[in-house]
Structure 1
Amino acid sequence: MTNESMMEHQVSSRERYAQFMEDSCCTHFCLGPNPSMARYVYALIFLVTNLLAWTIRDYGHSALSELQRLKGCHGARYCLGAEGVLRISFGCFLFFFAMFLSTVNTKKVDDPRNSWHSEWWPAKIIMWLSFMVIPFFIPSAFIQLYGKIAHFGAGVFLLIQLISVISFITWLNDCCRTEKIAKRCRIQVLVVCITTYLASVVGIVLMYIWYAPKPSCSLNILFITLTLGLLQLMTFVSIHSKVKAGFLAPGIMGLYVVFLCWSALRSEPQTEICNKKAQAATNADWLTIVSFVIAVLAIVMATFSTGIDSKCFQFTKAETESEDDVPYGYGFFHFVFAMGAMYFAMLFIGWNAHKTMQKWTIDVGWASTWVRIVNEWLASVVYVWMLVAPLVWKNRRQVEST
């Protein structure tokens, strides 16, 4: 082979390699700004933070005895357990709130903040690690104050999540009621409606069996009966002649409120005689561990799905999207994760910073139960209001015009 042919072969090999690198997954997902991949990395960081908080809560007493040397800890016992969770939560909150401040109102992909959101991972990992360490040097009094503020932040997260879920359900209902889809998918929609109502009824019956086995369990009976009443109320309002929203949306919403009621009853203390499932969980360690893992993954998934759903909070008419627009609201995404940091702290400590949680438990206690129940009632009220509000505004305009 001549020198010229060898040079041509080497050049063509470099060209093929360069073309391969351009089309490879590594280039698309690891090189250059890639907001779609970045959100998964942030979710992974959030998951690792959750696991770190759990480790400090359940196993920190033996593994982190050196914390007594830190000035802000007043001895290791104040930096571990519930307060250790709050310190990790505070560091996670600082990280995502800093990202929120640095990316809010980013609209175009050519904005330098798009690169900051989607790249610079070594710098952001160092920043995250710093925020994980700094809270352990902060005095205990400030951390306790943060714990009180976290109650509010967790409530904000639940409200954002609630609006996101209801917006998705109403969007799905409106989509299925369009003339084109209504004709093609009538049977499928009917099957989904029947399935959701049957699942809701079965869930209510099981809750009566598991959480209200005796007439003395009056509080649980009240919670479950109110859930049944809310399901009927949402259905009645939805199919009213002036609303005509159909059965699909109230069916899905009914299943959602049944899930919230079940979550509330499941959060009752394991010493509660009306909670048979909690007693069963204490006798099966594998079930407790599996439930814990699922709960942690659910926290991350709920935070992730809510964070990328910024469009449901656009109260003004959205502008026409173009190719150079960012795929989702970066500021809203990081704000949801910042509130999610407060939310997971409340779940790990049972909404009570002075309570000792058992290992492999999450969101257990009467405070957790009442938070879930209030969230269920609020979800029903918000959904009914979204159905009735157009009629109220219409009547008010007619009165004003006359």
Structure 2
Amino acid sequence: MGCCISQFACCCGPASCALCCSCLPPVNESTSTRGMYTILLTFIFIIQCLTLIPDLQNLLEEHVVNISEICQQLKSDSECDMVVGYKAVYRLSLAVVIFYFLHVLLTAFVPSSNHWRASIQNGYWGFKFLVLIGLCVAAFFIPTEFSIYWMYVGMTGGVLFILLQLILLVDFTHSWNARWNGRKRGQRNKCGFVGTVVVAALLFAVTILGMVFLFFYYGWQGCTTNHIFLSVNIGLCALLTFLTLLPCTMKRNPNAGLLQASVICVYVVYLTWSGLTSEPPEEIENLLDTLFGKTMALISVDTSTTTQSTAKTGQVTSRSSSHAYNYTSSCRPDPAFPQADRIASYAGLVIMFIMAIYS
């Protein structure tokens, strides 16, 4: 009976949630609150992943009003399902932003955990979930015209969140490096030092392989924009590693090392990959196929002069020559695997979820 009352107070009252079992250890209020927010973020994370499933995208397109209008504006029927899925992720993110913004307004400048407004942070979880679900549903009925402005807000927030992720990664790797090297205990651990060097070497190997694969799949001849992105990021990774090895850096921060640089370099590879999959495909002319096509067209024209149907053959060769001259390809991997771009989207959601939980 007491368990039911406590859980009811957690859902509808100011009390924090607890483990309702005598065999489990007691849970602090702060730990319980973090656990509930983790469940809430996991709930939203799963829904966002589900909206990227093609079957659910078709369901949204059929039943949600005006969600497919952006496909008509972009004149993209073949990729409409993917656009609808990304738009759904934006709408759900808007609901989460509004939810936490209201939370900030209600709990700003709370002096202590005993204040009555602190109960808004630690309790009323049933009402919170209902409000969040209501905001998620309402977000899908916002007019399409608002989506353009929200995308700019989302890009700005994405930049700020990337900077926050970098700060969290640096903080995480500093703690990791200090723990393995024994600096927190005031003594140097040789085994831990070797471990950090091995992990850093593996991460640098992943960085090099990642950049090689990105150049192989996105850095074709003529893909100038992709070449610039890849070259700049490779240079920044090399500069970061060089600055980490400088004696003045080690003197100013003894906890600095290759482990931090390797983790950031791997993260830069991911960001580069995500950017290359998100940009509009750059169209290039395939020079080899064009020359081959022109040569075959000229041969066809030459042989057609010896036949009786010169006019008809001329029309055919003229079209083949025009087709050969206008042959283009995009700076993307082989389209035989159309789900390749979705992998970056899922990876981004996973990284965002991990960083949000770690923070």
The two structures have a TM-score, normalised by structure 2, of 0.61
Cα pair distance change 1:53/1:112, threshold 3 Å: farther
Distance 1:308 1:297, change over 3 A: same
Map residues 338-349 of structure 1 onto 2, 5 A cutoff: none
Q: After the TM superposition, which residues 369-384 of structure 1 pair with which residues of structure 2 at under 5 Å, given as runs?
A: none
RMSD between superposed Cα atoms in Å:
3.9
Q: Answer yes or no: is 1:265 the counterpart of 2:276.
A: yes
- In structure 2, the residue matched to 1:44 is 42
Distance in 2, Cα, partners of 1:238 & 1:32: 37
Residues of 2 paired with 1:231 and 1:32: CA distance? 39
In structure 1, distance between residues paired with 2:273 and 2:90: 27
1:158 aligns with 2:162: yes
Q: Which has the higher contact order (CA 8 A, sep 6+)?
A: 1
Corresponding residue number in structure 1 for 2:349: 299
- Aligned partner of 1:61 in structure 2 is 61
Alignment counterpart, residue 194 of structure 2, candidates 176, 183, 187:
187
Asked if residue 23 in structure 1 is aligned to residue 18 in structure 2, the reply is: no
Select 1:277's aligned residue among 325, 333, 337: 333
- Alpha carbons of 1:164 and 1:134: their partners in 2 closer, same or farther (altered >3 Å)? same
Question: What's the CA shift string for 1:42-61, capped at 9, x where partnerless?
Answer: 21332255257557855323
Q: CA deviation at 1:77?
A: 4.0
Q: Deviations over 1:338-376 (max 9, x none)?
A: xxxxxxxxxxxxxxxxxxxxxxxxxxxxxxxxxxxxxxx
Contact 2:233 / 2:268 at 8 angstroms: preserved in 1? yes
**1:227–1:25: structure 2 CA closer, same or farther, 3 Å change rule?**
same
Q: Residue 187 of structure 2 aligns to a residue in which SS?
A: helix
Q: How many residues align?
A: 274
Paired residues for 1:327-342 under 5 Å? none
Return the index of the structure with the highest Cα Rg. Answer: 2
CA contact (8 A) 2:277 2:341 kept: no
Q: What is the aligned partner in structure 2 of residue 251 from structure 1? A: 262
CA drift at 1:166: 2.6
CA contact (8 A) 2:110 2:118 kept: yes
Confirm or deny that 1:208 pairs with 2:215.
Answer: yes
Q: How far apart, in 1, do the equivalents of 2:201 and 2:269 lie? A: 15
Q: CA deviation at 1:233?
A: 0.9
Verify the 8 A CA contact 2:244 2:261 in the aligned structure 1.
yes
Task: State the Cα distance separating 1:299 from its structure 2 match.
Answer: 1.8
Deviations 1:118-140 (A, max 9, x none): 43222112212322344456555
Q: Aligned partner of 2:136: which letter?
A: M
Of the three residues 217, 237, 240, the one matched with 2:246 is 240
| Residue number among 5, 19, 32 corresponding to 1:34 in the alignment | 32
> Paired residue for 2:123?
119
- Aligned to 1:277, the other structure's residue is in SS state coil
The equivalent residue for 1:336 is: none
Which is further off, 80-89 or 168-177? 80-89
Query: Given that residues 166 and 264 in structure 2 are in contact (C-alpha distance below 8 angstroms), is that contact kept between their aligned partners in structure 1?
Result: no
Residue 242 and residue 194 in structure 1: after superposition, are their counterparts in 2 closer, same or farther (change >3 A)?
A: same
- Is 2:159 aligned against 1:148? no
Match for residue 324 of structure 2? none
Query: CA, structure 1 residues 109+278, in 2 after alignment: closer, same or farther (shift >3 Å)?
Result: farther
Q: 1:235 Cα deviation (Å)?
A: 1.6
Pair 1:167 & 2:217 matched: no
Distance 1:247 1:61, change over 3 A: closer
